[in-house]
Structure 1
Amino acid sequence: MASKAPAAARKFYFYYGHRRPSQNRPVVRGGVFTNRAILPPLPTPSGPALPPRRRPAAPVVDFRDWDPDHPPPLGPAAVGATSSSSAAARALSPVARYICDSFRRHGRWCPAVLLDLGRLRRVPPDLVAEVVKAQSDPVLSSRFFHWAGKQKGYRHNYAAYNALAYCLGRSGSHRAADQVVEVMDAQGRPPSEKQFEILVRMHADAGRGLRIYHLFDKMRNKFKLTPRVFLYNRIMEALVRTGHLTLALSVYRDFKADGLKEESVTFMVLAKGLCKDGRVEEALELLRRMREELCRPDVFAYTAMLKALMGEGRLDGCLQLWEEMEKDGVQPDVMVYSLMVKGLCQGGRVGKGLELFREMKGRGLLVDRAVYGALVDGLVADGKIGEGCKLLQEMIADGYRADLGIYNSLISGLCSVGKVEAAWKLFQITMKEGLVPEFETINPLLVSYVETGDTKKVLGMAGLIGELGLPVTDHLKNFFSFLIVKDEQTLKALEIFEALKGKGFCSVSMYNVLIKGLHGIKEARRALSLFEEMTVSEDRKPDSLTYSYIIPCFIDEKDITKACSCYNKMKELSWNPSIQAYCSLVKALCKIGEINAALILVKDCLANVRNGPMEFKYTLTVLHVCKSRDAEKVVAVLSEMQEQGVPLEEVVYCAIIHGFVKYASSEEARKAFAMMRKQNLLTEANSIIYQDMLDEHLKRTTAGLMLSGLKFFGLESKLKLTDSLTYPSTESCAAVVSSG
């Protein structure tokens, strides 16, 4: 027997120290056998040898802390625990909870996060998708996604890319989300239709129609993908809903070019878009094709198209579509009838609405109370108050209970035709029904009592409002606001207010409404008397609106000093005047030659008021252009104002005077006025006025410079002022400048 061949000698491999770490095997210890010699530590020059430094042991990670089935520790052991106990986090896998908790603790991508991730052997694609889907921070998700992709031998799957797209879309980074398909293509995994469907759904929910069309174009032309019929329908529906019907029709042409067959949804999406755009004939042609090639439209299809037409107020198209529905033999349901009756009543075609209402009741369909309300409103608007009351009786007989809106319409209609007693009885029925009256319920009765001059009933109505627990002052303030819309009723409102004031029904808001109304009818003195009442009263002190309304009244009475004092009072209380108050005060100061004070107010207005007047903005532009010392540029600015429709107010001409006197010379200002006179930007009379204003402003500026020089050298005690250096409106100017 042949001797057995000797076994091959075993080769032992020894690892000296640690193996070089790699991405897949971060740390590998050496085997038990090693011939590595441990050398003794070398002595240091300053003393004995130091003991070898030992690397601290890495903390052991217990993944049970992130296990949803393992409850977190209680008591002292829970102190410093890093597990997350939220409901969303507990739905994740343990390792995903560990990664998400690391992101939560550190809040940003940092070395500490990398250290936590380094403790994991490998992060697979499904785990990446789970973590990214649970994140709300797009920066952290993107960094983690990029880090995972750098693992050796790793490749993202479709779930990870989709999760990244969802995360970016949720955080509002839709442009970055659209680039995910390019990232997929660059990393060797071309996107499929599913990825584009995710992005289309995301943009459709947010109403970004143009972004959807951009994705569709990229899908077909760049990636050569043909969408399914479902995705085509989704794209066209989103484009129609966002008002891009032309783009939706171009997508439909591509749909036909791809050889796809329409579904009922395809026809209905395009038909709704055409109806919304008023192209009823084309919509009916689509319905004909749908009837021939696919199926007959049902009641739901007609309801959708009617709703689209009714939303745009196209009643003729609705009636045309109604006839088409009858030709198809489609029986309207309750929703279609209600939609048509409401739309016709709101569009002023109450007769056709009543006809459909009778047809609806004849078929035994359930009539909604909103249908009765629409019919009553339409009848009242058409002046058929009696028919509206009969319809209310019919409604109650049918077992319905009228709501407050129906009562409000009938009360308003009865008051408009002079049947105030009937309206009052209906108002009493409203209270018996347990309905709480609104301003729309009470206001018609109050207005009727004012028109008939019955002040006692107005006072009684005010007391009744208080007894019902309603805000009396708010209702009366709205009532006066309604009255002063008509100028002839403003004085009647003042009389009613005096009577209400005697009964204790008054407030600051009511004073403000009346002051505004009196100024509108050029009764400034009566408005000022109301303002004086407020100033002496302790309970009803003027507020910011009061001062804003009273400043133009003082200006109408040529009392600019008090108007300026009101402005200063507002500034002391940190209030800002209204734009109307600013404009009237600036205009008045310009007329008396107080140019410096007027320009201070212009700057204050633009600094404190939103959307200030355009003439004020152009005033600052004129001042800036005056620095160039070129009259032609200033005239060009005025020509631009005229082209833009901005009126050439006095403050603009005063800015020319001030700017050229300050930055150039008076000759440039005269040259600018001469050019404006040639271009018909300034009349001859106004040219003479502004020339005199220029001379006066030049004298004041010179006198001011002289006084400043004397004060600088301490010689003001030797100066004897004469009448030539004093001006009649110095007090008002000083008042404004002090606040500016």
Structure 2
Amino acid sequence: MIALRRYYFRNAFQTNPFHHLCYYSGFYSYLPKQIDTKISAISHQFHSLFLCSFYSTKSPSRSFRRRNNKRLKAASKPVLDQAKFHNAISQLPPRFTAEELFNVITLEQDPLVCWELFNWAAQQPRFRHDVSTYHLTIKKLGVAKMYEEMDVVVNQVLALRSFGSEPLYNTIIYFFTEARKLSRAVNIFKHMRNNRKLDCRPSIRTYNILFTAMLSRGRDSYINHMYMGTVRCLFRQMVNDGIDPDIFSLNSMIKGYVLSLHVNDALRVFHQMGVVYKCLPNAFSYDYLIYGLCAQGRTNNARELCDEMKKNGFTPSSKSYNSLVNALAIAGEVEDAVHYLREMIEMRKSADDITYKTILDEICRRGRVEEAMGLLKELQNKDLVDGHTYRKLLYAMEDDFGD
């Protein structure tokens, strides 16, 4: 027996030095079973990384890192607090209702206890979960990012015919989009449209959740172009179903068209807002369009829209001002760029270093270096640029346009 143990630990050290360290330090003899399982998972990851670094000069592949992350995630799963769990059960009467269970889950802060309490209640005789308990449990699990457990509860909801409510399904869609499971969210949306209960059908909030998720998938214009086709179809379906778009939906369309470089389509939606949809544009509507027009170098349209925005009582954002000043400077309209920069300063909107450098470079290119130096000094005197930024801009001008 002793020989077998020596053989085992000698081979364990050859395959996993972490086991060797724990054994000879007497560490394993004091570990509970649950902690021992976690140590085994961690040691397995240590062993994998050790072998990878010993036999290969390349960094671990993405699939290798994903597998190890899954093992670590499985090993670091929280353990149920039995005391809290039994304390929550003790607050329920012998024959509790769904409303009483809802109140107990509401007061419980530990999402794992909520999850176990939900499962325990489902096994009790003469008890059935209602919409409120499903909704609350899904919300608790979603906030805690326990998406696997949430998925189990969602499947139970989907298995019930003509069950649920519009807020319940909206919550499910929202947390699936937060978990980056967009296809799963779309399937829930289709389930809502096919539901026989009218109060389970998609609302304007349902569409807005999907618009937000699809327009935040990335900053690449090609990716936005791909998702914009789906957003366009959803918007058309929403209008055909008799749901009037609100300002958020219309701004989502404008933003999507701008990000996918279809600024003319964004302008079309903008001009239809008050006439067709009876919804006047707000500051975000103008900001998205000014940014899109400036990105395409259409400074005249951007300037007209900025003036219209101020006429209607809105103040352009820092992003709009920065875009406009940069576009005007690059287009050679330096005087107008300086005008909007001064206006920006008066409105207490912050300009970035790129905007300062662009306008100073364009002034210097026209041989007006002294004017650019004076503008930079003015920005410093107004505490708009700190000492580091001032020196950086000054040295850049001296290197590019100095004698």
Which of 372, 380, 389 is 2:294 aligned to? 380
Q: Is 1:394–2:308 an aligned residue pair? A: yes
Residue identity matched to 2:390: L
1:368-414 Cα distance to aligned partner (Å, 9 max, x none)? 11211111112222333332223223334545444544222100112
Q: How many residues align?
A: 310
Aligned to 2:191: 286
Partner of 2:47: none
CA distance in 2, matches of 1:426, 1:220: 64
1:460 CA displacement? 0.5
Asked whether the 8 Å contact 1:310–1:343 carries over to 2, the reply is yes
**2:242 paired residue number:** 329
Partner of 1:339: 252
1:262 and 1:448 mapped to 2: Cα distance? 61
Whole-Å separation in 2 of the counterparts to 1:331 and 1:361: 13
Deviation at 1:334, TM superposition (A): 2.2
Report deviation, 1:329: 1.8
Letter in 1 for 2:122: R
Give the Cα–Cα distance (whole angstroms) in 1 for the partners of residues 143 and 169 of structure 2. Answer: 15
* 2:85 alignment partner in structure 1: 178
Q: Is contact 1:184-1:191 (8 Å) kept? A: no
| 1:197 corresponding residue in structure 2 | 102
d(CA) in 2 for partners of 1:349, 1:331: 23
Q: Which residue identity lines up with residue 266 of structure 2 in the other structure?
A: G
Q: Alpha carbons of 1:374 and 1:191: their partners in 2 closer, same or farther (altered >3 Å)?
A: same
Which one has a larger percent helix, Structure 1 or Structure 2? Answer: 2
1:358 is the counterpart of 2:271 = yes
Q: Per the alignment, do residues 352 and 224 of structure 1 end up closer, same or farther by CA in structure 2, a change over 3 Å counting?
A: farther
When residues 360 and 175 of structure 1 are mapped into structure 2, their CA distance, relative to the original with a 3 A threshold, is farther
Q: Would you say the 8 A contact 1:449–1:455 is kept in 2?
A: yes
Q: How many angstroms does 1:285 deviate by?
A: 1.9
Indicate how the Cα distance of structure 1 residues 286 and 471 shifts in structure 2: closer, same or farther if over 3 A, else same.
same
In 2, distance between residues paired with 1:267 and 1:338?
Answer: 24
> Per-residue CA shift, 1:612-635, capped at 9, x if unaligned?
xxxxxxxxxxxxxxxxxxxxxxxx
CA deviations over 1:479-505 (Å, ceiling 9, x no partner)? 479x6xxxxx8x817x86xx9xxxxxx
CA deviation profile, 1:398-433 (whole Å, cap 9, x unmatched): 4544454422210011223343333123334445x5
**How far apart are 1:220 and its partner, in Å?**
2.5
Partner of 1:253: 155
**Are the equivalent residues in 1 in contact too, given 2:273–2:279 (CA < 8 A)?**
yes
CA contact (8 A) 1:341 1:356 kept: yes
Helix, strand or coil: the match of 2:121? helix
Contact kept? 1:274, 1:282, Cα under 8 Å: no
Q: Name the residue aligned to 1:299.
A: 204
1:396-475 equivalent positions in 2, closer than 5 A? 396-398=310-312, 400-430=314-344, 435=348, 438-440=351-353, 442-449=356-363, 454-475=368-389
Q: 1:403 to 1:194 in 2, by over 3 A?
A: closer
Q: Which ranges of structure 2 fall in alignment gaps of 5 or more residues?
A: 1-79, 219-226
Q: TM-score, normalised by structure 2?
A: 0.62
TM (norm. structure 1) is 0.36
What is aligned with 1:266? Answer: 168
Instruction: Give yes or no for contact 2:163–2:197 (8 Å, CA) kept in 1.
Output: no
Tell me, in whole angstroms, the C-alpha distance in 2 between the residues paired with 1:285 and 1:376.
35
Note closer, same or farther for the CA distance 1:266–1:397 as it changes in structure 2 (3 Å cut): closer
Q: Does 1:492 align with 2:399?
A: yes
Residue 198 of structure 2 aligns with an amino acid whose one-letter code is: L
2: CA distance, partners of 1:374 / 1:226: 49
- Tell me the equivalent position of 2:390: 476
Aligned partner letter, 1:197: F
The alpha carbon displacement at 1:175 in A equals 6.8
Contact preservation (8 Å) 1:450, 1:458: yes
Counterparts in 2 of 1:371 and 1:301: CA distance versus 1, 3 Å:
same
Q: Is the 8 A contact 2:255 2:288 kept in 1?
A: yes
Q: In the alignment, what sits opposite 1:218?
A: 120
CA shift in 2, pair 1:421/1:377, >3 Å: same
Answer whether contact 1:377 1:409 (CA < 8 A) is retained. Answer: yes
Aligned ranges for residues 227-242 of structure 1 at < 5 Å? 227-242=129-144
- For residue 281 of structure 2, the aligned residue among 356, 367, 374 is 367
Deviation per CA, 1:13-50, whole angstroms, max 9, x where unpaired?
A: xxxxxxxxxxxxxxxxxxxxxxxxxxxxxxxxxxxxxx
Alpha-carbon distance in 1 for matches of 2:341, 2:212: 35
CA distance in 2, matches of 1:311, 1:201: 31
Residue identity in the other structure for 1:406: S
Structure 1 pair 222–476 and aligned structure 2 pair: CA distance change class (3 A): farther
The answer on whether the counterparts of 1:462 and 1:472 sit within 8 Å (CA) in structure 2 is no
Residues 174, 470 of structure 1: alpha-carbon distance in 2 compared, 3 angstrom cutoff: farther
Hey, what's the Cα distance between the residues in 2 that align with 1:233 and 1:265? 8
> Structure 2 CA distance, aligned partners of 1:386 and 1:214?
62
Does the Cα contact within 8 Å between 2:85 and 2:113 map onto a contact in 1?
Answer: no
SS in 2 for 1:262: coil
Distance in 1, Cα, partners of 2:171 & 2:311: 42
Q: Give identity over the alignment, percent.
A: 18
Q: 2: CA distance between counterparts of 1:437 and 1:303?
A: 30
Deviation at 1:232, TM superposition (A): 0.7
Instruction: Kindly indicate whether the alpha-carbon contact (under 8 Å) linking 1:177 and 1:199 is maintained by their aligned counterparts in 2.
Output: no
> Are the counterparts in 2 of residues 220 and 226 from structure 1 also a CA contact under 8 Å?
yes
Aligned CA distance change for structure 1 residues 213 and 250 (closer, same or farther; 3 Å): same
Measured at CA, do residues 194 and 328 of structure 1 come closer, stay the same or move farther in structure 2, by a change above 3 Å?
A: closer
3-state SS in 2 of match to 1:302: helix
> Taking structure 1 as reference, are residues 397 and 246 closer, same or farther at Cα in structure 2, changes over 3 Å only?
same
| Separation (CA, whole Å) in 2 of partners of 1:305 and 1:459 | 49
Shift of 1:452: 5.8
Query: How far has the Cα of 1:470 moved from its partner?
Result: 3.7
User: Is the contact made by 2:257 and 2:265 (CA closer than 8 Å) also made in structure 1?
Assistant: yes
- Render the CA deviation track for 1:242-289: whole Å, top value 9, x for unaligned: 555554342133346677832233333334455662226524422322
Residue 360 of structure 1 and its aligned partner are, at CA, apart by 0.5
Question: Contact between 1:181 and 1:191, CA under 8 Å: does it hold in 2?
Answer: no
Q: Counterpart of 1:458 in structure 2: which amino acid? A: A
Distance 2:145 2:362 in 1: 46
The structure number with the bigger radius of gyration is 1
CA separation of 1:312 and 1:231: change in aligned 2, threshold 3 A: farther
Distance in 2, matches of 1:281 and 1:260, equals 19
Verify the 8 A CA contact 1:178 1:199 in the aligned structure 2: no
- Secondary structure of the structure 1 residue equivalent to 2:215: helix
Contact 1:271 1:286 in 2 (8 A): no
- Cα distance between partner residues in 2 of 1:267 and 1:472: 50
Is 1:310 paired with 2:212?
no
CA distance in 2, matches of 1:354, 1:465: 35
1:174 CA displacement: 7.2
